[in-house]
Structure 1
Amino acid sequence: MTESTTPTVVLVHGAFADAASWSGVITDLQQHGIPVVAPPNPLRGLASDAAYVASVAAQIDGPVVLVGHSYGGAIITVAGATENVVGLVYVAAYVLEEGESLGELQGRFPEPPLAASLRQAFYPVVGAEPAVELTIAPDSFPHVFAADVPGEVTKVLAVAQRPLAAQAFTETASTAAWKTKPSWAVIAGADQAINPDVQRFGAKRAGAAVVEVAGASHAVALSHPKEVSDVIREAVRATSA
């Protein structure tokens, strides 16, 4: 394969979602001739999920721009240390410091409505006790996750959501790639899943170029794909050789 100087965009979805949540963004990027990969996020823990995303990025010929939504932001913060990653884009996301966990960052700010809407279940772990995983109660899902997405869509999303291992909230970031890689951030102004102030704080700390979408829910990539894609394309332009 011939190495390209145009970065490949790797879209990392967050908890309670899958790669289809990037559908509108993918369409827009493809229409602009930008190569895109949207891998499945295992959602089993920060270290293992970041290792998986790093392996995806490392096997791509040429530079990579990592884009993380929600918990995916924590993942790209760690996976972004991969050598061929040239930029990071955070979309309604957690932007962690090295040694910091999701719980620690969120704990500095008022709890979002999401916290009271989480349901626990268990999943088997080979050679160990069952572990806890979390989903959003279906009747709360539209309001806390996707308030600006059509109701018929949120009904599907609520039953198709993928659970997040609870340990993801306590694992700490082994590195913070934004310290050495340029970053951009999209803030969802009406987010009920991650307090917008958490997003603003992390983006400012990382020195990210910020675009805020007023009134946007946590599902900003679904409800405002053009605005999200515009930021990603700016990152691609800025990091193209």
Structure 2
Amino acid sequence: MMDRRIFLGLLAAVGAAAPLRWGQALAADPVPAARNVVLVHGLFADGSCWTEVIPRLQAVGLNVTSIQNPLTTLDEAVAATQRVLARQEGPTVLVGHSFAGMIVTEAGVDPKISALVYVAARAPDAGEDYAALAMQYPTPPATAGIVYDGDEGRLSEAAFLRDFAGDLPEARAKVLYAVQEPFHKALLAGRTKQAAWRSKPSFYAVSTQDRTINPDLQRFMAKRMGAETIEVKASHLSLISQPEIIAALILKAAGR
């Protein structure tokens, strides 16, 4: 029989050679308790897209901030997030919807971040070409609805109602369409330099009826990062159509 000291030494050597990502760690490992939640929106939206989720988090005493993503360049979007993170006191859950998964992946290495939550979001690896990754899956219908005015892009009203907010009442979807923030073309060229999900507890909500980011691509990214994953029968806007489910996942990430 192998000597116990030798066995423990081998375990330590293996652990040093191949650090485990969160999803590969023991299920019994506790999620660090958080005091704050920082929410980041993606394309075709602004910070108000979280208004259905925010009160559910505040009701249990969490300090919540919804960032106004400038949608100009990835570096500027990350910097805007870092400024908000600098104001947080104590452990913080960082949440990103859609394109904001890029921001969460980059800014999430901040020592204050106790967990990451991706809501139908991009989740690239460090330096990865997300567009090339997405091309390995069928192109989602919303892509054809993007229109440009010079360097600014937005979704047409038809695409917004059908492919972005398809499970919302039309009147509600039209309000959201009215406040969508145009994005700059330069934003799409950015690549993350770091992948916070490789070292932080990660959670992912897949939207199974998504017509903006392919659901199978979402599943691939969630599995690759070893995230604790749920599937929500929702459009790309699960945070609005099913906020109780999204809030529950964030609360779990916050150790509540």
TM-score above 0.5, yes or no:
yes
1:174 aligned to which of 172, 176, 193: 193
1:8 aligned to which of 31, 36, 44: 36
Match of 2:46 in 1: 18
- CA-to-partner distance for each residue in 1:197-232, whole Å, 9 max, x for gaps? 111111111110000002x00011000000000000
Match of 1:83 in 2: 111
Equivalent AA in structure 1 for residue 179 of structure 2: A
SS, match of residue 210 in structure 1: strand
Equivalent AA in structure 1 for residue 161 of structure 2: P
- CA-to-partner distance for each residue in 1:121-146, whole Å, 9 max, x for gaps? 13xxxxxxxxx121001122111111
Structure ID, larger Rg: 2
Range 63-72 or range 41-50, more displaced: 41-50
The unaligned stretches of length 5 or more in structure 1 are: 123-131
- CA-to-partner distance for each residue in 1:123-170, whole Å, 9 max, x for gaps? xxxxxxxxx121001122111111111110111211221112222222
Structure-1 separation of matches of 2:52 and 2:129: 30
Is 1:225 the equivalent of 2:243? yes
SS, match of residue 39 in structure 2: strand
Structure-2 separation of matches of 1:20 and 1:62: 24
Match of 1:126 in 2: none
**Would the alpha carbon gap of residues 108 and 170 (structure 1) be closer, same or farther in structure 2, given more than 3 Å must change?**
farther
Is 1:197 the equivalent of 2:216? yes
The unaligned stretches of length 5 or more in structure 2 are: 1-32
Q: Shift in Å at residue 184 of structure 1?
A: 0.1
**Would the alpha carbon gap of residues 59 and 101 (structure 1) be closer, same or farther in structure 2, given more than 3 Å must change?**
farther
SS, match of residue 254 in structure 2: helix
Structure-2 separation of matches of 1:108 and 1:205: 15
Match of 2:73 in 1: 45
List structure 1 runs of 4+ shifted beyond 6 angstroms.
none
TM-score, normalising length from structure 2? 0.84
Q: Shift in Å at residue 6 of structure 1?
A: 3.3
Structure-1 separation of matches of 2:108 and 2:246: 19
SS, match of residue 177 in structure 2: helix
Match of 2:179 in 1: 160
Residue identity (%): 39
Is 1:33 the equivalent of 2:51? no
1:58 aligned to which of 61, 79, 86: 86
SS, match of residue 157 in structure 2: coil
Structure-1 separation of matches of 2:36 and 2:113: 9
Structure-1 separation of matches of 2:216 and 2:35: 30
Structure-1 separation of matches of 2:183 and 2:130: 13
Does the 8 A contact of 2:36 with 2:92 survive in 1?
Answer: yes
Q: Shift in Å at residue 105 of structure 1?
A: 2.4
1:133 aligned to which of 132, 152, 157: 152
RMSD: 1.2
SS, match of residue 52 in structure 2: helix
Does the 8 A contact of 1:16 with 1:136 survive in 2?
Answer: yes
Structure-2 separation of matches of 1:162 and 1:231: 26
Match of 1:129 in 2: none
Is 1:206 the equivalent of 2:234? no
Does the 8 A contact of 2:34 with 2:93 survive in 1?
Answer: no
Q: Shift in Å at residue 172 of structure 1?
A: 1.0
SS, match of residue 227 in structure 1: helix
